[in-house]
Amino acid sequence: MTADRLTPHPDRLLPVDPAVRGRAREIYESIRGLPIISPHGHVDPALLLDDRPFADPATLFVSPDHYVTRLMHASGVSLDVLGVGRSSLTSDEAKRAWKVFCEHWHVYDGTPMQFWLVSELSEIFGITDVPGPATADSIYDQIAAKLGQPEFRPRALFARFNIDVLATTDDPADSLAVHQALAADSSFAGTVIPTYRPDRYLETLKPGWHDAVAALSKASGVDTATYAGYRDALQNRREYFKANGAKTSDHSHLDAYMTRMSDADATGLYAKALAGTINHAEAVAFRRHMMWEMARMATEDGLVMTLHHGVYRNHHTPTLQKFGPDTGHDIPLQVEWVNGLHEVLQEFGTHPNLRMVLFALDESGWGRDMAPLAGFYPSVYVGSPWWFLDQPAAIRRWRQATTEIVGFTRFSGFIDDTRAFCSIPARHDMSRRLDAGFLAELVSEHRISMPTALRTANYWTQEGPREVFKL
């Protein structure tokens, strides 16, 4: 990309050394066109069921993507202006949001968001002008004109992106009617599967917990007035999700602890939660116990556990109240994996039906905690750099910190974790380029052969994710 042209360099993110770069090109070319496997993301499946044209450039690129909006907010832009928390914008509102985005293009310099956006704008929509105040209107009009064309509707882009599997993130009480309709639609050739996400059902002090439990009871047909009924209802919905194609349960809490308590103690704490008398320490203990229960259930039904722990959700309460969750103010925390998982791994760490994938926002634990755990326990895999660490420098550090401990086979594969549909191929392309560069370095150091590098690159993008996520 030059100062005035939005033209991505073909060697972007590949090693600087010419000899290494040549090997990286060969490795990258061997995987660049392979199908995308997306085992964790947040795209609304109704997007593909309805297959309606995207409304406008702003609601496609800006308003739903907290990766994008948070930096503008940090620069003083009101989230109101960007349409955050709204499902639709008027024509004037969309043009205004897009204008503000282009005016703040410079705040993304040096970030992975700009890498993705450049790829999306240039490679999907053919945009050649760099976003800015003078080009905003023209770029908007170019994209808007294409959004009305059949080849830019969601299903056409899904096929163009060569997405093989797309996993969504879903509430346990969801009917999964959209997934069922997609699976029954012979005109749609893709695979879209749900993911069981029970976080809000385990956090007894979070607002809305009582309503969530009531919804769980209704969806499962199981009375949740007792702890035994509540636990059975959660298991019932796991079975329902699995019957509808789910391969994974996803979990994200402040810490990674999974500790068992007696049924009697759990029954007592659940009763206190229903009565509204449970305290903070008791609520934490109950949630940790229920995470142990999730692991136990996984040994029975085989759903892969993905653990995205260590996030302080909704750090800014006024923003949460006005715009809702997932609006850019979630902040990373440290996670204690070794002690947190000790009890559950004593019980289930060698169980043949358990797979547990660890994702961290605290990179200090990659080589200290996660890789050593995955290097012993057959049930544990190292998840890819996630969220704030989904960036070139961090991905390179992650490979360096973990590979020499676990080799090439104990990784989950890349996850894009996105609500921005058009960013999926860009994010996966970034990962593939970085993997190619890393493997090329090992070849250049005569640590592995080129055939091994080529085989490994293919494994990381294809066989590995299929194996780990039972696809």
Question: What are the sequence ranges of the domains in the chain?
Answer: 54-152, 156-468
Shortest CA distance to 197 belongs to which of 280, 66, 307?
A: 307
Go through 209-218 and write b for each residue having 16 or more CB atoms within 10 A of its CB, e for each that does not.
beebbebbbe
Annotation: CATH topology of 156-468: TIM Barrel (3.20.20)
Amino acid identity of 95? K
Pairing of strands 356-359, 304-308: parallel
pTM equals 0.95
Contacts of 455 (CB under 8 A, 6+ apart): none
Cα–Cα distance for residue pair 49/253, rounded to 1 Å? 31
Cα–Cα distance for residue pair 425/38, rounded to 1 Å? 10
Q: Yes or no: say if 361 and 395 are a contact pair by the CB < 8 Å rule.
A: no
Q: How many residues does the chain have?
A: 471
Task: Please state which CATH class domain 54-152 belongs to.
Answer: mainly alpha
Tens of each residue's pLDDT in the chain, 471 residues: 556 789 999 999 999 999 999 999 999 999 999 999 999 999 999 999 999 999 999 999 999 899 999 999 999 999 999 999 888 899 999 999 999 999 999 999 999 999 999 999 999 999 999 999 999 999 999 999 999 999 999 999 999 999 999 999 999 999 999 999 999 999 999 999 999 999 999 999 999 999 999 999 999 999 999 999 999 999 999 999 999 999 999 999 999 999 999 999 999 999 999 999 999 999 999 999 999 999 999 999 999 999 999 999 999 999 999 999 999 999 999 999 999 999 999 999 999 999 999 999 999 999 999 999 999 999 999 999 999 999 999 999 999 999 999 999 999 999 999 999 999 999 999 999 999 999 999 999 999 999 999 999 999 999 999 999 999
Write the DSSP symbol of residue 161: T
